[in-house]
Amino acid sequence: MTTPEFEPVPRTTPTRSRERVGYDRAAVHAVLDEATVCHVGFVVDGEPVVLPQLHVRVGDRLYLHGSTGARALRMAGGPGLPVCVTVTLVDGLVLARSAFHHSINYRSVVAHGVASVVEDETEKSAVLAALVDAVIPGRSSQVRGPSARELAATTVLRLPLGDVSLKARSGPPHDDPDDLALPYWAGVLPVTTTTGRPVPAPDVTVPSPWPQPPATEQTAS
pLDDT of 178-203, one tens digit each? 999 999 999 999 999 888 888 888 99
State pLDDT tens for residues 125-156. Answer: 999 999 999 988 899 998 999 999 999 889 89
Per-residue pLDDT at 56 exceeds 90: yes
pLDDT of residue 219: 38
pLDDT of amino acid 211: 61
Is residue 127 within 8 Å of residue 41, measured between CB atoms?
no
The predicted-structure confidence for 24-46, as pLDDT tens digits, reads as follows 999 999 999 999 999 999 998 88
- Tell me the CA end-to-end span of the chain in Å, nearest whole number: 15
Q: What is the pLDDT of residue 218?
A: 41
Percent of the chain past pLDDT 70, that is, above it, reads 88
* Predicted pLDDT of residue 213: 57
Which residues are CB-contacts of 83 (< 8 A; sequence separation ≥ 6)?
A: 40, 41, 42, 72, 112, 113, 114, 115, 159
Domain ranges across the chain: 17-89+108-172
pLDDT of residue 199: 84
The pLDDT, as a whole number, for residue 108 is 97
Report the pLDDT averaged over residues 81-104: 97
Q: Taking all residues of the chain, what is their mean pLDDT, rounded to a whole number?
A: 88
pLDDT band at 173 (very low <50, low <70, confident <90, very high): very high
SS3 per residue for the chain? CCCCECCCCHHHCCCCCHHHEECEHHHHHHHHHHCCEEEEEEEECCEEEEEEEEEEEECCEEEEEEECCCHHHHHCCCCCEEEEEEEEEEEEEEECCCCCCCEEEEEEEEEEEEEEECCCHHHHHHHHHHHHHHHCCCHHHHCCCCCHHHHHCEEEEEEECCEEEEEEECCCCCCCHHHCCCCCCCEEEECCCCCCCCCCCCCCCCCCCCCCCCCCCCCCC
Is the confidence at residue 67, as pLDDT, over 90?
no
3-class SS string, 153-164: CEEEEEEECCEE
Name, in order, each residue with C-beta under 8 angstroms of 39's C-beta and a sequence gap of 6 or more: 50, 51, 52, 53, 85, 86, 87
Q: Quick check: 215 pLDDT over 60?
A: no
Q: How confident is the model at residue 216 (pLDDT cuts 50, 70, 90)?
A: very low
CA 95 centroid distance within chain: 26
Average pLDDT over residues 69-95: 83
CATH of region 17-89+108-172: 2.30.110.10
What pLDDT, on the 0 to 100 scale, is given for residue 15?
Answer: 79
Residue 205: pLDDT above 90? Answer: no
pTM > 0.75: yes
Q: What is the mean pLDDT of residues 8-29?
A: 88
